[in-house]
């Protein structure tokens, strides 16, 4: 839902890689090549970026608005 800040398994910081990864994949590059270029070599980290689905904007529509 929220962009993964770190790999769920090994803890490597990944938050700074999400935007470049997303942009390059949306522009038609092969995700495998993008991950190699970004230096994401461990399969746990690759899984974390590949498996992420950005749902935060849809979920925010249903968030509760706090009133006093
Ligand atoms: Zn990892």
Query: What are the tens digits of pLDDT across the range 9-23?
Result: 999 999 999 999 999
pLDDT at 58: 87
Mean pLDDT value of segment 39-58 = 92
| Residue 43, domain member (yes or no) | yes
Ligand 1 mean position, distance from CA 7 (Å)? 5
What percent helix, strand, coil does the chain show, rounded to 5? 50, 5, 50
Tell whether the model's pLDDT for residue 67 goes beyond 90: no
| Residue 40, domain member (yes or no) | yes
| Residue 27, domain member (yes or no) | yes
Residue 34: which CATH number? 1.10.10.60
| Residue 19, domain member (yes or no) | yes
Ligand 1 mean position, distance from CA 63 (Å)? 30
**Tally of CA atoms within 13 A in the half-sphere of 16 that contains its CB:** 4
pLDDT at 3: 85
Ligand 1 mean position, distance from CA 36 (Å)? 14
| Residue 34, domain member (yes or no) | yes
To the nearest 10 degrees (0 to 180), the angle between helices 15-26 and 31-38 is 140
Mean pLDDT value of segment 20-45 = 96
The answer to whether the beta carbons of residues 63 and 33 sit under 8 Å apart is no
| Residue 37, domain member (yes or no) | yes
| Residue 6, domain member (yes or no) | no
Q: How many domains does the chain have?
A: 1
Mean pLDDT value of segment 35-50 = 95
């Amino acid at each position: 839902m929220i962009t993964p800040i770190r790999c769920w398994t090994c803890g490597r910081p990944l938050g700074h890689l999400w935007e470049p990864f997303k942009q390059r994949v949306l522009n038609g590059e092969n995700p495998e090549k993008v991950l190699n270029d970004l230096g994401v070599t461990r399969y746990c980290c690759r899984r974390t970026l590949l498996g992420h689905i950005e749902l935060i904007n849809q979920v925010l529509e249903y968030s509760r608005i706090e009133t006093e």
